Amino acid sequence: MTKVEVLIEGYATGHNDVEKISPSVVLIETDKNKIIVDPGFNRKELMDALAHKNIATSQVDFVILTHTHLDHCLLVGAFENAIILDSSDQFFQNGEIKSQDEHTLGHSIQIIKTPGHDQFHCSVAINTDDMGTVVIAGDIFWWTSDTEPSKDYDTLLALNDQYVKDKDALIESRKIVLQIADYIIPGHGKMFKNICK
């Protein structure tokens, strides 16, 4: 049994010179593990969301970072017992680093390299019982709260990303996600059903 739940729906708004931002903060629960993807940087919002689920920071087994932009990763240290995963490695809090392998998270969860927004960006694909394949796409897909796009293939491939590092790689990464996902959780924005699969 593998479940995915959006704890904080990612958003990005701007008023005057102040941006207000949160990434999508996602909880994955398997029979063995509690996993947080992108803890974000708003401590109160994160702690409130965990408290609401009755989860202590010490109970979280893994934290996956889609990329290391501070708005997505600043609070990674809040989980005192967690192993931290990026696109390829596992960071243990005793200072050890090891490569990931197929046993790290089990068969229902896959970390996929999706470069473009950032060179080491990854997405997380989860096979669920109730929603098919859910992909936590980080900033492969994101938009500001006032620019919610339509969800057709061409629009999604062409989404503007003002922070893109490698545009060609980003488009390839978007194609991969659109090929496998039944549902997509963007870095900032509401989860949506992938009608392009």
In the bound state with Zn ion, the residue whose beta carbon lies nearer, of 58 and 163, is 163
In the bound state with Zn ion, the residue whose beta carbon lies nearer, of 115 and 187, is 187
Query: Can you tell me which of 39, 116, 187, 189 binds Zn ion, judged by CB under 5 A?
Result: 187
In the bound state with Zn ion, the residue whose beta carbon lies nearer, of 116 and 187, is 187
> CB under 5 A: which stretch of 30-38, 101-109, 146-154, 187-195 binds Zn ion?
187-195
Kindly state the number of chain residues that form the binding site for Zn ion, as judged by CB under 5 A: 2
Alpha-carbon distance values, 145 to 9, 12, 20, 39, 175 (Å): 11, 6, 10, 20, 23
Least CB distance to Zn ion at residue 117 (A): 8
**C-alpha–C-alpha distance, residues 2 and 148, integer Å:** 29
Told to check if 86 binds Zn ion by CB under 5 A, we report no
**C-alpha–C-alpha distance, residues 42 and 55, integer Å:** 17
Told to check if 118 binds Zn ion by CB under 5 A, we report no
Least CB distance to Zn ion at residue 41 (A): 10
In the bound state with Zn ion, the residue whose beta carbon lies nearer, of 33 and 188, is 188
Least CB distance to Zn ion at residue 96 (A): 28
> CB under 5 A: which stretch of 31-39, 47-55, 123-131, 137-145 binds Zn ion?
137-145
Least CB distance to Zn ion at residue 66 (A): 8
Residue with tokens 């087994």: 61
Residues 42-68, buried b or exposed e (16+ Cβ, 10 A)?
beeebeebbeeeebebeebebbbbbbe
Residues 126-152, buried b or exposed e (16+ Cβ, 10 A)?
bebeeeebbbbbbbbbbbbeeeeeeee
**C-alpha–C-alpha distance, residues 43 and 148, integer Å:** 26
Contact string 141-180 vs Zn ion (x = CB under 5 A): ----------------------------------------
In the bound state with Zn ion, the residue whose beta carbon lies nearer, of 86 and 139, is 139
Told to check if 139 binds Zn ion by CB under 5 A, we report yes
Sign of CA dihedral 51, 55, 61, 65: negative
**C-alpha–C-alpha distance, residues 44 and 191, integer Å:** 22
Rule CB under 5 A: which residues touch Zn ion?
139, 187
